[in-house]
């Protein structure tokens, strides 16, 4: 940001401030407003001083001045889960070999990428990218669900997920693309900016989505569905540890519970996996209270097992 942008002389008089004041008066008061700008020196605090102060602040807060990238931080879900770091680096060769970051079940991860972008991984999700990420490319492969806050750059940022590609330059969006999804669906939801979304096999079949729009692609579709208004909270509630599902099948919901709480759910009643449910939990107590609710609504029973539940 240039210093010019911080020039306090350029702040305009708020609209409506002189409402009710005589119009001749208004003119001279406006002039005084402009004139008063000389009083505040732009460079009272220099950028260097600001930088030094920030460093000092980092020290006081016990943060590192400069972080090695990428780094990641796991956010425990709720108080009862201890935070842990899960950085799995596959391959040690320097170039081209991909590295991956996984958020284990029961935890979420935040990944800071070399280009300044930030990715948040929902429990059980994984991203892969090669070591030249941020230098020669901004390509990421996603398995699962993640929220992207992409730093602006002319280099396109691409997310490959389950046969789809999402291409952007700088924006915020969320992708849901679980490998165990019954239909192989990939859902894209845009919070800000514009993205191009297309099947990996045919970039010409792209749809463009902007703010608060959503689209889906799954094998068998010629091109992604036409963008529709998105329910942002349903798609990104997991970031705030909420549990929200909107007309989702029981199997999808159970899959999500398994990942979020690191439990195993065995569905032993046949014919109900495809039934859909809608629910909203701003705060989730634990997996059992959630499951109890769902079973009540769906007319099912559950019993505890060694590592989770049996639903029948």
Residues near other proteins (CB under 8 A): 1, 5-12, 14, 17-18, 21, 28-29, 31-33, 35-41, 43-46, 50-51, 53-54, 56-57, 60-61, 63, 67, 73, 75, 110, 112, 116, 118, 149, 239-240
Q: How far is the CB of 295 from other proteins (least distance, A)?
A: 32
Place of tokens 């070999």: 97
Residue 109 or 265 with smaller CB distance to other proteins: 109
Q: How far is the CB of 146 from other proteins (least distance, A)?
A: 14
Q: How far is the CB of 60 from other proteins (least distance, A)?
A: 6
Residue 72 or 143 with smaller CB distance to other proteins: 72
Write the DSSP string, 245-306: EEEEEHHHHHHHHHHHHT-EEEE-STT-TT-EEEEEESS---HHHHHHHHHHHHT--EEE-S
End-to-end distance of the chain based on CA atoms, in angstroms?
Answer: 60
Residue 2 or 270 with smaller CB distance to other proteins: 2
SS3 32: helix
SS3 101: strand
Q: How far is the CB of 29 from other proteins (least distance, A)?
A: 4
**Hey, what's the torsion of the CAs at 207, 211, 212, 218, to 10 degrees?**
20
Residue 32 or 90 with smaller CB distance to other proteins: 32
Residue 55 or 200 with smaller CB distance to other proteins: 55
Q: How far is the CB of 225 from other proteins (least distance, A)?
A: 28
């Amino acid at each position: 940001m240039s210093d010019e942008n911080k020039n306090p002389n350029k702040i305009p008089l708020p609209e409506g401030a002189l409402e009710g004041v005589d119009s001749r008066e208004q003119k001279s008061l406006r002039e005084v407003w402009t004139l008063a700008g000389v009083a505040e020196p732009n460079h009272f605090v220099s950028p260097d001083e600001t930088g030094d102060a920030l460093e000092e602040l980092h020290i006081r807060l016990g943060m590192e001045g400069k972080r090695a990238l990428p780094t990641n931080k796991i956010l425990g879900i709720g108080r009862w889960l201890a935070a842990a770091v899960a950085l799995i680096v596959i391959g040690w060769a320097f170039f081209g070999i991909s590295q991956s970051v996984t958020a284990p079940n029961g935890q979420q991860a935040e990944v800071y990428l070399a280009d300044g972008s930030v990715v948040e991984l929902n429990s059980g999700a994984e991203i892969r990218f090669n070591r030249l990420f941020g230098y020669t490319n901004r390509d990421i492969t996603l398995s699962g669900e993640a929220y992207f806050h992409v730093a602006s750059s002319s280099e396109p940022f691409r997310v490959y997920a389950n046969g789809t590609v999402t291409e952007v330059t700088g924006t915020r969006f969320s992708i849901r693309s679980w490998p165990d999804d019954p239909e192989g669906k990939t859902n894209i939801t845009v919070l800000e900016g514009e993205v191009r979304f297309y099947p990996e096999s045919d970039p010409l079949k792209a749809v463009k989505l902007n703010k608060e729009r959503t689209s889906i692609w799954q094998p068998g579709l010629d091109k992604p569905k036409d963008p529709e208004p998105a329910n942002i909270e349903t798609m990104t509630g997991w970031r705030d540890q909420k549990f929200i599902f909107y007309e989702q099948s029981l199997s999808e919901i159970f899959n999500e519970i398994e990942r979020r709480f690191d439990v195993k759910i065995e569905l032993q009643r046949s014919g109900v996996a495809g039934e859909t449910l809608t629910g909203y939990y701003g705060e989730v107590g634990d997996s059992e209270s959630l499951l109890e609710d769902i079973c009540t609504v769906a007319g099912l029973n559950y019993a505890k097992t060694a590592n989770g539940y049996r639903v029948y």
